[in-house]
């Protein structure tokens, strides 16, 4: 893999790797995962698959292992089986009441955290990249129909959770 191919691959996948890592780790750990992933990719570029879709899957495998390793380190460090999520604050929206921003962000986070891992990963990947469903499915190592099902179920569960937790009069 030449330098320009590496740069193009990094531009294509770094946001996806970061956003998937961010769903499972605090921002500083997610940034480390991105750095470590692409360091390994650069160091092992001679053994990278020649086919672009296989190469993306290979990078995703490296990222997935880096995310798992970071999660294991975090659990050991904090002696806690729960994953610590420290998502960045949402972009400010024009609200009259600042508490509404916090309430909305907390509701969305609870909805997202309640998803099974496969559905959460599918939702993140769909939101964080401009790849096609088939490309995301290949990166995640599932069939396109499995990816579509996970994405659909995840979106439905988030919508239902947010609708059910809306204050009276807003979800109707």
- Is the confidence at residue 70, as pLDDT, over 80? yes
Supply the mean pLDDT for the chain: 80
The enclosing H or E element of 74 equals helix 52-78
Domain that holds residue 20: 1-85
Given pLDDT bands bounded at 50, 70 and 90, which one contains residue 97?
low
* pLDDT at res. 42: 94
Given pLDDT bands bounded at 50, 70 and 90, which one contains residue 155?
confident
Q: Give pLDDT tens digits for 101-135.
A: 566 677 777 888 888 988 988 888 888 777 788 88
Q: Give pLDDT tens digits for 20-58.
A: 898 889 999 999 999 999 999 999 999 999 998 899 889
Co-location of 151 and 98 in the same domain:
yes
Co-location of 1 and 35 in the same domain:
yes
Q: What percent of the chain has pLDDT over 70?
A: 78
Co-location of 2 and 79 in the same domain:
yes
Given pLDDT bands bounded at 50, 70 and 90, which one contains residue 80?
very low
Q: Are 135 and 53 in contact (CB under 8 A)?
A: yes
CA distances from 51 to 4, 58, 78, 95 (A): 15, 10, 41, 48
Both tokens assigned to 86: 């420290």
Both tokens assigned to 152: 């659909």
* pLDDT at res. 29: 93
When divided into structural domains, the chain yields a total of 2
DSSP symbols for the chain: --HHHHHHHHHHHHHHHHHHHHHHS-HHHHHHHHHHHHHHHHHTGGGS-SSHHHHHHHHHHHHHHHHHHHHHHHHHHHT-SSPPP-PPPPPP---S-HHHHHHHHHHHHHHHHTS-HHHHHHHHHHHH----HHHHHHHHTS-HHHHHHHHHHHHHHHHHHHHHTSPTTT--
The residue from 29, 50, 85 where one domain ends is: 85
Residue with tokens 């290949």: 138
Co-location of 80 and 117 in the same domain:
no
The residue from 30, 50, 85 where one domain ends is: 85
């Amino acid at each position: 893999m030449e330098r320009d191919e590496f740069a193009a691959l990094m531009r294509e996948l770094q946001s996806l790797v970061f956003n998937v890592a961010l769903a499972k780790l605090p921002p500083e750990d997610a940034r480390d995962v991105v750095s470590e992933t692409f360091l390994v990719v650069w160091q092992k570029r001679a053994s990278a698959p020649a086919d672009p879709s296989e190469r993306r899957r290979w990078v995703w495998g490296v990222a997935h292992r880096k995310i798992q390793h970071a999660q294991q380190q975090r659990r050991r460090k904090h002696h806690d089986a729960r994953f610590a999520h420290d998502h960045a604050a949402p972009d400010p929206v024009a609200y009259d009441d600042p508490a509404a921003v916090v309430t909305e962000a907390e509701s969305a986070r609870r909805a997202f955290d309640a998803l099974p891992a496969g559905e959460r990963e599918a939702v993140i990947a769909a939101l964080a990249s401009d790849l096609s469903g088939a490309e995301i499915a290949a990166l995640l190592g599932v069939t396109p129909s499995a990816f579509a099902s996970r994405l659909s179920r995840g979106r439905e569960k988030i919508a239902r959770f947010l609708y059910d937790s809306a204050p009276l009069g807003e979800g109707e």
